[in-house]
Structure formats: structure tokens, C-alpha cells
Amino acid sequence: MTAAPRVAYLLFQSHRKGSYLHDGEISMQAGALRQQGIHVDVYDAVFDGDNAAENARVIALLADKLTAARYDLHVVTRLWDNAVAAQLNEALESRVAARAPLLLLPQNPWPADDIAPFDAIGPGSDAEIVRLLATGGADGARTVPGLIWRGDDGAVVRNPGGLDNDENAVERYRLRPDFRRIAVDPSIQTKSTHLVVYGNPGCPYRRSIREVEAWRGVELDPAATNTKGCSFCNINLSQDYKFVHGIAAHVVEQIQNILDDLPDAELIILLDQDPFPYLPEVFERCAAAGLRPFHLLIQARADLFLKRREKWELSLERARGAGHRCTPFLIGIENFHDPTLEFYNKGVTAQTNIDVLCYLRETAARYPDVIDTRHVSPGFIMWHPWVTFESLRTNVDAIERHGLSEFRSEVALSKIRLYPDIPFYWRAKSDGLFIDEYATVGLDSARRYGYSEEAPYRFAHAEAQVAYTLLSELCRQHEPIHELRLLALILDWIEQRPSELVELQEEALSAPAALVERFMEARAAGVMALRKENRRAGPVAQSVPSAAREVLRTLFGAAWEPRNGEPGAPFVIQRLHSDPARIEVTFGRPGGSPPVFRVTLSPRSGEPHFRHTASWNVAYRAHDSDDAVRRALGDVLSDLLPALETVEADAQRQSALRALLTPAASG
């Protein structure tokens, strides 16, 4: 009997903080392929931002697992940097004589003649491409219409035609995805959920962008670019809106499949821009079916929470009655500047957005057992290629005044990514705003959040280019920091230098480090005051108890002397911070330099971390990636883990360490 073809989907997360990337499309493809007799595994590889050493370790672990399992095809659907795929290929080729072909299923058509580091580029993202390649044997690549692939002689071949993705298409809500995943490093998990169920396709808001003055006359590809609804969104390109009769029953069936397949499942995202007409029926059917408690996260247009108020509150009542939870999740606030909202073709005003936030707070107060505001994450786009100084000022003020940042972190850094399926791409191209590459990785939003590689661009206005370059670099260097207040500080500095803008813009584009140095010469004290580790709300700094001091010396060796360190040490402990959730030790170079890395101990839990012992999670963050820092961090971690196990074995020393988790024990 012929063995079933073996396929591995490879998911890469660029950071450990969690994201909106549920990759539901892959779960659907995995389910469909398994039903056709193909063995499919989905690997989840979680990177640690720009920590090159740790990311290389994750790639090596993934290569080990792929080598041991021996697949016929490796599949990637999104990458912020193709160098990740090249590094994986290199790791595999050092382990096996012939690695499996690497297929990319891109979000948009492949623009280049060179397909490296991939062996094939799909004509879209469809499970049928994977099936044909996995089952076609040596000639499989020739059978896929529109495939771009590398022949045995190394030449790139472009197959004629293309797949008809609409032919024999099955509605998403009828499919049974397979959400099982293999963690490359089980000790490292992101906080986000990848469990999704599908409601009505498309979006009911379909106003043409041509009704907005700014988009009239912009030349674009109407077959590949969304022109209906929000100008930053592509949902109406891929799916026509349709209200499906009986959709509540389909949603409940999808929820039940998840709960049956995954015993630990709790958080489930409902993808529907307007689920409110049938949402009460969903919870009514769940109660009738006796489904165990779950938490439904709602992704919907923000203004519809107001327009569908009665249905929304009835849904909350029925969720409460059945013991479930239901929370607004990804809701598109997007901006508080009315001209920008019109440019976005959003169909709402800033006042509507303010009213939505007030209403969500009010319902959360009335339904605290149903709504968990920790999961509320309003969509927001502060930055776009033509953003104005006025828009930035308006948004900084409104975000602070109306408390948007209590629901969403990194709102000040939110910058649109440009792809050919949205109108922004074509206008930026027409205006000559595309650049070859970003001057620093901090400017790359795709890399920051783990999305597909974006088209790099500069801002049309010098003030915006200078402001975003400073903001992104300073946030990267001094994280965690109060980003919104930092942006206000930057805008004040820029506003005082109108005659220097051309020079500052040139530095932002070609020498961002020089721009940061110039800014810090004038505003270093202000920046340092905004670092969150200096917040007054935290525990009061005081001397560390002597018993804990000896334990910390055991864990961190010669570097341990609070705020000092042994003479001649290349890196010293600058600060100890503790609260009921963690013990954080900050390392830097002698002489009061900015921190270079942090090591955190927290009670054992499922939160993202690097390694764990029986009682503790160990995590770290590097703020500098040079070789000396990587070596020092590696030395600290390699000594820490066995020392921590030694401390755990001694009840008295373990108790002294745990005592640092009380508010009275920070230094």
C-alpha cells in the first residue's frame, strides 16, 4: 500500500507577545487535506523579536523536527523576511542529503523572476495547490496551473494558466478545520488564540473608494485590489458580502467541533463583520446543546455595536445564562481624526468612535462576568504614507483623553502595511514613496508583528518621517516605555525645529542612529522618565533582604551586587524590580549605560517564557544584539537554570526567593 503524502505547514511568529495572526486559512487547508488522505502537520515556531541567537536556536529545533519526521513538502504562507526561509533551508541541508521542496503560498502575486529561497511559488493560497504538489510525484509541479517553480537545471519555470479558486469552492462555515499544531519549543507559547469560526462572508459596508476625493483618479488593478469599503482593508476583494440563512446553526456546529477536538479550548474568535442579528441565537443553541463553557471573541465593525445595541445586549444575557463569555475583540476604531477617517473611507466619524468606546465600557461594567476587557483590542492605524502633523496631534490627545490605550498596547506605533490588494499601495507607488528597504528594522511593521513582507515606503511629509523613525527606534531600544507620551515628546521637539526638517528627514531615511543621538542629546532625561520600569505606581525601591540577597548571588553569580557588580565585570546588574507577578533583573554595562538585557523569573504558568523549572518560568529580553551581549546573556542563562533547580530543592532558600514577589521587596 502506498504511503500517504506527508506535508508540513510552517508558521513563524515574530515575537512572543501574542498577535492577531490566527492563521485560520492554514487550519482550513489542513482539515481539507487530511480529509483527502494527506498527512498534514502544522508547526508553530515562535521567535523572540530581533534576538538573532534565540531565533537561530528555534530554526535549528524546527530543522531537527522536520528532519526526523521526513516530509514530502514544506509549506509557508507568510514571512516578514525571506531570510528566515533561507536560514531554514541551510539548517536542513546540513542535516539531510536532499530536503523537501519549500512552497510559498503568497498573499499577493509574486513580483520577481527569482524565487529564492523557495522552490515553488503558488498562484494564490489554496489547498488544491498543496494537494497537486504532494500527490503528483516527480512531475507534480508541472500539473499546477500558474505555479512558478525551479526545474532540475535550476531554471525558473512559469506554468501557464491559473487555478480557479471559485470552482467547487465550499463556504468556510461549512468546512471543518483542523486546529492541531506542533510547538517547535513547547516551553514557548504566544498568548493569542488561533481558534476561529466563520460567520457571514465579506463585509456589509461597501461604499466605493471612488466616492472619496483622495482616491479619485488613482490608477490601480481592479482585479487585484479592493475598492469597496475601507481603503486599508481587502475583505471585500476576497469575499462578497452575503447574509446566510441559518448561519447561527453553522457557527454553533463549528464551535462544537472545536470543543470536541480540543479539550483545553476556551478562547474562540468569531469572524463576521456583523454577527449581531444571529448572535443571540448562537448562545441559545449552545445552551440547548449543553456545550461546555467557552469564551467567544467578536470581530466586528465598531459602529455596529451601537446600531445593533439590543441584539448585542440580548447576546450578553444569553451568554450569561448559559455560563459562557462574550467579549468584543478586534473592533475597528482606526482613528480619531475626521479627515483621516474620510481618507480611510471608514464610514464613521471620530465622535462615533468615542461613543463606541463609552458604550463598551458601560456594557463591560454591567456584564463583568461575561465581558473580559483584557481581550478588547480596537484596531487603530495612526500612521500612513500621507499622515499629517495635525492628525498625529489630534490622535495623541484623543487616545489619552478617551483611554484607548487601556485596551490596546503599541497604539502609537500602529502603521499601515502596503500590499497590492489595497488602494494605499497604488497611490504610494504613483507618488514615488516606495523605497528599496527600511533603514532600520524598527520601521518594518511586518517584521514587528509577523505579517507577510510589506512594500517598504517613506512618508510624504518630513515631520512624519522624523517622528516615526524616532518613535520606532526609541521604543525598540527602551521597551517597555510609555509610547504615546514619547510620541508627544517627539512631536514637541520637531515642532520647535521647522528650519531643520529637511536635514532631519535625510537623517531619518539614511542615518536613523544619528537622528536618535541628536534627539537624545536634547531629550534624554524626558525619554528615561517615560520608561515603565521607572513608574511610581510600582513597588517602592528599597534594600533587598539579606536572605534573598544570598539566593540572588547564587542565581546570578559574580554579577550580583545590587546596582554595582564585581570590579571589571563587562556587564553588571543595574536594577532589581519585583512585584507579585515577577522578579526582573536588568543588566547593563558599567557606568550607567542603557540596559542591554533583562532576565525575568515568574511563578510557573502557561505565559510565554524561555525555559522553566518545576516552580519558575525564566524569560529574557535583549536590547542589544552584539556578540558580547549574546555571549553574556548565554552565560547568565546557562548558569541560572541549574542554580535555580538547586534553590528549589532547599525549602528555606526557595521561600526567600518567593518572598521577593511581595510588594515590599524591590530594589
The strand pairing partners of 158, in sequence order, are 148
647: nearest Cα among 608, 667, 618: 618
pLDDT for 652: 84
| Buried/exposed code over 208-246 (b: 16+ C-beta within 10 A; e: otherwise) | ebeebebbeebebeeeebbbbbbbbbbbbbeeebeebee
Question: 293 in helix, strand or coil?
Answer: coil
> Is 395's pLDDT higher than 90?
yes
The whole-number pLDDT of residue 163 equals 67
Lowest-confidence range among 18-32, 322-336, 545-559, 566-580?
566-580
* 415/446 Cα distance (integer angstroms): 10
Of 126, 62, 133, residue with least CA distance to 102: 133
Distances (CA, A) of 474 to 43, 469, 481, 599, 615: 33, 8, 9, 20, 35
pLDDT of residue 540 exceeding 50? no
DSSP per-residue string spanning 310-358: HHHHHHHHHHHHHT-EEEEEEEEEE-S-HHHHHHTT-S--HHHHHHHHH
Write the pLDDT tens digit of every residue in 517-529: 999 999 999 999 9
Sheet hosting strand 156-158, strand order edge to edge: 156-158, 148-150, 120-121, 102-104, 73-76, 6-13, 39-46, 182-183
pLDDT recorded at residue 561: 47
Question: 526 exposed, middle or buried (CB, 10 Å; 0-12, 13-18, 19+)?
Answer: middle
Q: What is the mean pLDDT of residues 440-448?
A: 89
> Cα separation of 415 and 447, whole Å?
12
CA 148 – CA 153 distance, rounded (Å): 14
Read off the pLDDT band of 579 (50, 70, 90).
Answer: confident
Q: Where are the alpha helices (DSSP H) in 227-337?
A: 235-238, 247-261, 279-289, 304-307, 309-322
| DSSP reduced 3-state for 380 | strand
Q: Report the pLDDT value the prediction gives residue 355, as an integer from 0 to 100.
A: 97
Share of the chain above pLDDT 70, in %: 92
For position 566, what pLDDT does the model report? 39
Q: Are 613 and 585 in contact (CB under 8 A)?
A: no
Residue-wise over 38-65: b if at least 16 C-beta within 10 A, else e?
bbbbbbbbbbbbbbeebbebbbbbbbeb
Q: What is the CA radius of gyration of the chain?
A: 26
User: How does pLDDT run across 115-127, given as a tens digit for each residue?
Assistant: 999 999 998 878 9
Rounded to an integer, what distance in angstroms lies between the CA atom of residue 48 and that of residue 16? Answer: 6
- Helix (H), strand (E) at residue 295: strand 295-300
Residue bearing the bigger pLDDT, 381 or 580: 381
Q: What is the largest CA-CA distance in the chain?
A: 77
Residue 10, strand partner residues: 43, 76
CB 88 within 8 A of CB 61: no
CB distance 183 to 600 below 8 Å: no
pLDDT at 569 over 70: no
Identify whether the C-beta of residue 618 lies closer than 8 Å to the C-beta of residue 600. Answer: yes
Q: Enumerate domains of the chain plus CATH numbers.
A: 6-183 (3.40.50.2300), 195-381 (3.80.30), 546-661 (no CATH)
Q: What is the pLDDT of residue 624?
A: 66
Q: Is the pLDDT of residue 452 over 50?
A: yes
Q: Following DSSP, what letter does each residue of 529-545 receive, concatenated?
A: HTBGGG-TTSPPB-PPP
Helix intervals (H) in 344-461: 350-366, 389-402, 423-430, 445-449
- For 111-160, the DSSP string reads --S--TT-SEE-SSS-HHHHHHHHHSGGGGGGGSTT-EEE-TTS-EEE-S
Confidence grade of residue 475 (pLDDT, cut at 50, 70, 90): very high
Give the per-residue pLDDT at 16: 79
Residue tagged 524598527 (cell numbers) = 442
Q: What is the pLDDT of residues 295-334, one digit of tens each?
A: 999 999 999 999 999 999 999 999 999 999 999 999 999 9
What integer is the mean pLDDT of 258-264? 93
Q: Which three cell numbers stand for residue 384?
A: 500612513
Nearest to 296 by CA among 279, 310, 313, 281: 279
Q: Which residues pair with 586 in a beta bridge?
A: 575, 598
pLDDT of residue 488: 97
User: What pLDDT score does 539 carry?
Assistant: 30
Three-point CA angle 276, 166, 424, nearest 5°: 70
Grid coordinates representing 478?
527602551
CB 347 within 8 A of CB 203: no
SS3 446: helix
Amino acid at 120: A
Q: What is the pLDDT confidence band of residue 628, given thresholds at 50, 70 and 90?
A: confident
Q: At what angle do helices 483-495 and 512-529 cross, to 10 degrees?
A: 120
Arithmetic mean of pLDDT, 607-620: 83
Look at residue 395 and give its three-state secondary structure: helix
pLDDT band at 1 (very low <50, low <70, confident <90, very high): low
Is 632 a residue whose pLDDT tops 90?
no
Cell readout for 251 is 457557527
Distance, CA of 339 to CA of 349 (rounded, Å): 9
Rounded percentage of the chain residues whose pLDDT exceeds 90: 61
Res 664: pLDDT: 42
